[in-house]
Amino acid sequence: MTGKIFMLIRWFCVLSVIIGVLDATPMVQVIGKGNGVFKGHFIFNLTEDLVGWKMQIDFSKAVTGLTSPVGLEFVKDSSNETVHYIVNKDHTGIQTTKNQFDIMVEGKTKDGSVPSAQAILQNMGHDTYNVPTPPNNDGTKYNYDEVLMKSIMFYRAQRSGKLPANNKIPWRGDSALNDRGQNGEDLTGGWYDAGDHVKFGFPQASAVTLLTWGLLQYKDAYEASGQLDDMYDCIRWPLEWLLKCHTGQNELYIQVGDGNLDHNFWGRPEDMTMARPSFKVTSDKPGSDVAGEYAAAMAVASMVFKDKDPAFSVKLLNHSKQIYTFGKTYPGIYSQNVKEAGPFYGSDEYKDEMAVGAAMLYLATNNTQYLTDAETYHQHGNQWGQSWGSKFTASMVLLYQITKKDVYKQDIETTFTNWLPGATGPNAVPYTPKGLAFRTKWGSLRHAANNAFMALLAAEAGINPTKYRNWAKSQIGYILGDTGRSYVVGFGVNPPSHEHHRAASCPLIPASCSHDFYDMKYSNPHVLYGAIVGGPGPNDEYDDVRSDYVRNEVAVDYNAGFQGAVAGLKSLHLRNILD
């Protein structure tokens, strides 16, 4: 419940008496300056630390011109001049029980007398948003229905643009409503990338591809968990934005926002004031990697929406074909041509994205030219892993699903031999003492989760099904709590509460937010349900610290393969294949 401290104040010319409620023992000193001008102090002995605050003052008569020498923000009630609100500015938001909290105000009454007043102090660091937990009707170790529901909630919290009337994240509002292309095109919508507010098209499209592929493969899991409609809604939001980004036959917007400007700002997306330039690839500055990924996301989505929304499905497929042709006709690496993307999501290859895009288009159209292209683009042999920038694991799985050729089976088995425990040699993936396949320190959990999803898909195609499924289950189990703690915000035992996420760290609107909330020791005021954090180090070491963006940031690509793998495990249980 939102913390509130009440006090009743009787204003006199020099000194007033205060009646404190709860454990607060506030005092006030008031000096009447004549002609209705008064100066006073609201002094609280706090019973809890404040992480952003708001005070409502109900005066006995109309008061005008409220000010404060410490730079507070005053808001008058729209209906009259007797109710006023004060909210913290940046540097006054965090207040502790160690010191008295003194709110100084000055004002004037219209009739020349000194008013009495009643005040309520509200701690804006308490989020009242509680999410009911669905029952675990499966009897599995972890409640997969709850995980799917909350992962979808995370994606809702990442939404940019004009939010729908049924917005289910009450601490998020409309934002970035002026996002435009270089010629004024509407680029509102989509997802913010991570704990920041840039819209990076490359990892966003990659996340949509994996999420939608998971829905295509494991629709039964979403149906049984009661999340099917919400999942359609989840992926449609970024798909609509990806479609907006295709502004010409050979023109594709791939980023909105400047990463450096954005990363200098700590606050809500609703409060952004910095410039948000947009960037695109064209025939002169091509990006086959990002084009292939956009095409893949739209192609697989066209299959998912074929019965749900036929018109939307056709639109997606038409754009997918055009974008793929653009990427094929004008080969190039997008981050070499859009320098602003390079420091954040730089690419060094485009054939993997084009292979996945072509394979998805073949599944959607049955046009053999796409299959030929996919096989031509694919690179055989061991693969580093599946990520926003590396897709050959996905292409080998897709091509084996389609063709059943031994060469793709060999690719899969070679790759997973190096990923599973017991591997030796230079390509072997090391493991933490508690069993996480540790590919790299930056987002260690998402790499394990992505490849767990790939392993489940390979198992569906008949490759080492028992071994791959058990391994995938072990990696997802590590994330959900097998080590004694959960790495999913708002789920399980001892989940993260200081994740590196600007909006979640800010107090409730209208309290001001600033870099002070980045440095604070307190848990984030808002629970970013369903987000997986970057994850532990090579020895399972992990500190829930907001400033550690390597281990504690969240991102739209982090949850994508993870959610697909959870859906896969739910589906296997429904089919009595894996408990």
Catalytic (active-site) positions:
544, 553
Secondary structure of residue 103 in the 3-state scheme: strand
Query: In the block, which residue shows the tokens 């008064």?
Result: 38
Give me the long-range contacts of 180-186 (CB less than 8 A, separation at least 24). 180/278, 181/247, 181/253, 181/278, 181/280, 182/278, 182/280, 183/247, 185/244, 185/247, 185/253, 186/244
- Contact at 8 Å (CB) between 26 and 44? yes
CA-wise closest residue to 151 among 222, 70, 62:
222
What are the backbone angles phi and psi of residue 180, rounded to the nearest 5°? -140, 155
Show Cβ contacts of residue 520 under 8 Å, excluding neighbours closer than 6 positions.
Answer: 51, 94, 505, 546
Chain mean position to CA 532? 9
Phi-psi label, residue 104: left if phi above 0, alpha if psi -120 to 50, beta otherwise:
beta
Secondary structure of residue 372 in the 3-state scheme: helix
- In 148-221, which ranges are E strands? 199-200
CA-wise closest residue to 272 among 257, 290, 251:
257
Tell me how crowded residue 244 is: count the other CB atoms within 10 A of its CB: 18
> Would you tell me the crossing angle of helices 556-574 and 201-217 to the nearest 10 degrees?
0
